[in-house]
Amino acid sequence: MSLAISPAARDLMDNWLRHARAILGAAEATVDAYGRDVAGFLAFQSQHTGGTPGPDALRTITTPDLRAWMADQRRRGVGARSLARRLSAVKSFYGWWAEREGFDATTVLSMRAPKHQRRLPRPVSEGSARDLIATIGAQDARDWVSARDSAVVTLLYGCGLRISEALGLDAAAHPMSDTLRIRGKGGKEREVPVLPVARSAVATYVRLQPHDLAPGTPLFRGIRGGPLNPRLIAKVMEQARMQLGLPATATPHAMRHSFATHLLDAGGDLRAIQELLGHSSLSTTQAYTAVDTARLLAVYDAAHPKA
């Protein structure tokens, strides 16, 4: 779809995206999302003003202009959470632009996002996590495929990895040591401990799989030897949770949530858990304390029902 954006405004946006990619180390998927969000905003302003505003007009954007865009987004069915993300991208763009050219972007930067209820992580219980891994390890008639799927999910739960981080591991990561260096979102690196059960699961997969795992190639492979598609792990998780009668929230990412929640249950330090998960902000990790509190309240209500 062709968006009505002035060439000068598009050049500005492209320079900002290059900055986000090269200087800030933003992931490609994040850069793409930023580009879509800001391009949509600029296109709306063209429609809103009846022209294609250039940098001079965009620098003097007003609060009513911003509110008109936000109202249009809501009319299109964009939820509060998604609109907050889009506004964040617009603010990031204006913040970079204002710093670069020295103008006052307070109107944009002070605009408040719509309130939305923070969605709490939905972990599975420790027993369910073990059952999921065991069930996944017995799903495929090909031993190496079952071992592969089990190893991936074990890393998600045992090391708190994102699915992209697990599937992004290089074959050189095997044999695994006591720690694993992970490059997460934004290129941020962290070290995570590797439990013996996770090392054993990966070793079993490597021993059974038929492909040449040369350094510089993916550790986890598809049937034909290419990189393993994350949708396949989502599919085996879906099959396993249906067999076990678990809710639809029992996804690959839920295993990472479970890792953090169970560590917190065991007395883990919130700062340490933040480091293990690779969260940039402690406030992101603090969501797990809300999960813990919610579970305690549920137990209390069950034990002490209201009259």
Alpha carbon 1 to chain centroid distance?
27
Determine the Cα–Cα distance for residues 9 and 14; give it in Å rounded to an integer: 9
Token code pair at residue 100: 């670069």
- Single out the residue of 166, 155, 278, 176 nearest to residue 230, CA to CA: 166
Catalytic residues: 162, 185, 253, 256, 279, 288
Residue 83: name the closest of 106, 114, 41 by CA: 114
Query: Would you call 141 exposed, middle or buried from its count of C-beta atoms within 10 A (0-12, 13-18, 19+)?
Result: exposed
Rg of the Cα atoms in the chain: 23
3 state DSSP class of 189: strand
Name the helix (H) or strand (E) containing 45. Answer: helix 28-49
For 198, list phi and psi in degrees, rounded to 5: -70, -40
